[in-house]
Amino acid sequence: MSKEKMSEYKHEKAPSNMLGGRLHDRVKLNPGGYSETEPGVLFAIRVRKNRNLVLSLSTCMDCGACLTVCPAYLATRNIRNSPLGRITLAKSIMKGRINDEVINEAYTYFWQCLTCRRCAWACPFGVDVADITRAIRSMLYELNLAPNYVVGGVIDNLESTGNFLGLPEDVLKEVIINAVNEIRLEKGVNARVKINEAAYALLLPSACADYTTALNTFKGYVLLLNELGVDFTLSTRHLT
């Protein structure tokens, strides 16, 4: 896909009949905050009331360091599809500059964020746009705006297997064991890992993608906890 095509990409929205009360009940959420006549105003109020979100938006100095590492921006060269662009958009929402176009842009670009947190690593102040993205996405969901693949696939996978990838427990256990074996071969470290056993701490990777596309991140968790001597366990039933 060309950069031009990627820049125009937008996740297909889930039909309204798949959202609303039925899905809210399934995920144990009762938004009850947005009216059909003034969704933008209440959206802005939700942003202002989120202290962590306001602090992150206020901390950003628009230096652009995040642009050098963001995969979404590097792939599309679309400033709106970048940490800086998302922060600018969130600031506009916080200030109440909202209309249908802004809400549509929020849906488009906050759902294109990979939540990989490379921006937080590059930011001199540690601003984590992944956290901002999660907050805005939850607010968009309450406006009945969510991608079709989330509503029709991810939530079903979470309910049936405990992870959004739909990996059975035995498969996930093998992934963990293979990762531990790779650590031994690559680093010469016999990492101690418990699976579904009692321990002092439960390790919940930041996303179950850490078991697949970001496996090196998972290995880093394991190596660090072993180096610190922490007694920890992993669950094949409950993932973030």
Give the pLDDT confidence score for residue 7 in this predicted structure.
55
Give the pLDDT confidence score for residue 125 in this predicted structure.
94
pLDDT(33) > 80: no
Cβ count within 10 A of residue 52: 11
pLDDT(28) > 80: no
Return left, alpha or beta for 141; rule: phi > 0 is left, psi -120 to 50 is alpha, else beta: alpha
| pLDDT tens for each residue of 132-184 | 999 999 888 878 888 887 776 777 777 777 777 777 888 888 989 999 999 99
Predicted TM-score (pTM) of the model is 0.66
133 within 8 A of 113, measured Cβ to Cβ = yes
CA distance to 2, 89, 145, 165, 193, per residue, from 157 (Å): 31, 31, 19, 6, 25
| pLDDT tens for each residue of 93-115 | 888 878 888 889 999 999 999 88
Between CA 99 and CA 102 the distance in angstroms is 5
Between CA 129 and CA 97 the distance in angstroms is 20
Between CA 180 and CA 173 the distance in angstroms is 11
